[in-house]
Amino acid sequence: MENIVKQTFTIGNYEAVVVGAGHAGCEAALALARTGVKTALLTLNLDAIAFMPCNPSIGGTAKGHLVREIDALGGEMGLNADKTALQLRMLNVGKGAAVQSLRAQSDKNAYHTEMKRTLEKTENLRILQGEVADILTENGEVTGMVTAFGGVIHCKKIILCTGTYLNSETITGDFIQQTGPNGFQRATYLTDCLARLGYKVTRFKTGTPARLDGKSVHFEKCDVQEGDTDIYPFSFMTERLPENRAVCHLTYTNEGTHALILDSLDRSPLYNGTINSTGPRYCPSIETKVVRFRDKERHQLFLEPEGADTSEVYVQGLSTSMPHDVQEKMYRSVVGLEECEFTRYAYAIEYDCIDTLDVLPTLEFKKVKGLYTAGQINGTSGYEEAAAQGLVAGLNASLALRGKKPLVLRRDEAYIGVLIDDLVTKGTNEPYRMMTSRAEHRIFLRQDNADFRLTEKGYECGLVSEDRYQKFLKRKAQYEEILQRLNERISPKDADDFVEKYGYGKLTTGISYADMLRRNIPLRDVRAEYGILQNYPADILQSAEVAVRYEGYLKQGLEQIERAKKLEDKLLPEDICYLSIEGLRLEAREKLEQIRPLNLGQAGRISGVSPADISVLMVYLAMRK
């Protein structure tokens, strides 16, 4: 703290300040400024705005859902991903519509440049390079902050989006640097401030693979991964599918790679005690994969271009913190990488983050009014998870300033709702990653219907523009027209020959086009046979087809959602003393007192709170009435 300038001066007065300009910070700042809030965006380095320290990509399994939800609410990530995509693919096409996910291979530098340009053009937003040293409060409310160079910014709301920069250290073998990702400056003052304010601070770890010079890679030995051309983009506002301008490649580790890793474990920071913090379970290092799955003969590696203006290649699947000499042997043992040259070596990074059980579903801190957190400071992993939280935190700060009710998305409304509910109800003891399996209502939370679920909410909050809203209304009307047409019935004589082609016998009654879809006859074949629905966009037709095919499951799901809503609607008074409620088990009392859920539904999702405890709470509420 001795390096902080003692003499202070006022930089300015703002309604809100966003700290950090990664993917969370960008969405938070835009959500605030676009809803009329005078906002300052403070970042350690303007050259790191929307930087991609790991994968040069946006989307992926479940993450693509988040991006489309961000876009439906009026956020920027989907638009920026479409503008800067090198390649677009739809993952899990062989599976059901609920788990299919968009993924874009992004131009890393273009993504940063385009997002920075968007921020600079946004009204009500000032961008400033600097580091926050202290947060000012009065009577339990935010009043401003002090920068490391002595500048005071007065404000009513602060959104902390510090990413992996808090007291971060990068680790490669026994070489440890006190730096942020990619050699950027780290933040050294804020952690102590957070602890003083009452946050519980913990420490997580993540990592990134090496980057190689593409000129040294034998791509001809690898499998080619082409982009898709018959899919839709991330943003509902993007008129045309971005052109596929690059290809990715696929190769594999082998027994030689694995033997080399196992022989070098004594030099791995993960196994020799150098790293003690918790890493991501679902994106492990290659050392962890080889040790954990010793019976597996090989692991997939994707060779992905970092941008159109560079020959650097990202090696997805080969994250490591091994020393440089081991990395070189390891990478060169892989087919296609025998002569590879490194441009950047792989590393692990440790950083401070908070316990999100101290956070409300609005992402506001329970102990200081006006202080919000979003992104990896909340213990999550991934650009998409960060951006989703940033949008919600920024929008809720804006709504509070405008005297409106907050935006809290339910688990049946959005993957964003699942993400935040998991964080504030269950917490996380490892870097959290969104997955489709976390969503119990995922059949409702598809990519294709994100705007139907969320655009009205974004419009009510003031973030969805009038142009976007009118486009949404047109899309919704077309969707309803398609459903109405699909429910039209035709006579058996007009359908018999057609349905027989798909293994069905003679019809005894009329049949609707929707019935044909339920018999697994593709909509494209129905349209071709009967000449219907010829002038509708492909993505809306796809949404309608999915809705018809899943209709039975959707009806069952709605019944489950309605039952769950009854618990969500039973609000818990703010002044409850859970420690004094007789009948609750001791663990339940302690967890409920710590988390202080908003309703019975949230209470029931807390680890350590049983159905019997919920019954006790219901009796307590009835007696209290």
Q: pLDDT tens for residues 604-622? A: 999 889 989 999 999 988 8
- Model pLDDT, residue 5: 66
d(CA 379, CA 384): 13
> For 229-254, how does the pLDDT look when each residue is reduced to its tens digit (9 = 90+)?
999 999 999 999 999 999 999 999 99
Q: Which helix (H) or strand (E) holds 259?
A: helix 255-263
Helix H or strand E encompassing 90: strand 85-91
- Is pLDDT above 50 for 1? no
pTM of the model: 0.95
How much is the average pLDDT of 200-219?
A: 97
Q: SS3 of 187, please?
A: strand
What average pLDDT does range 464-471 have in this prediction?
Answer: 97
pLDDT at 44 over 90: yes
Mean pLDDT of 288-317: 96
Model pLDDT for residues 394-448, shown as the tens digit of each residue: 999 999 999 999 999 999 999 999 999 999 999 999 999 999 999 999 999 999 9
Arithmetic mean of pLDDT over the chain: 95
Return the pLDDT at 279. Answer: 86
| Cβ within 8 Å of residue 80, ≥6 positions away | 50, 111, 114, 115, 118
Residue 2 pLDDT greater than 60, yes or no: no
The whole-number average pLDDT for the span 325-334 is: 98
Looking at residue 397, its pLDDT comes to 98
- The pair of structure tokens assigned to 318 is 């080969």
Q: Is the pLDDT of residue 528 over 80?
A: yes
Listed in order, strand segments (DSSP E) in 342-396 are 342-344, 347-354, 371-373
Assigned token pair, 77: 């990530």
Q: Strands, E, within 245-396: which ranges?
A: 248-252, 300-305, 312-316, 342-344, 347-354, 371-373
Q: Which domains does the chain have, with CATH numbers?
A: 211-350 (2.40.30.260), 468-559 (1.10.10.1800), 570-624 (1.10.150.570)
Stretch 569-584: mean pLDDT, rounded?
Answer: 90
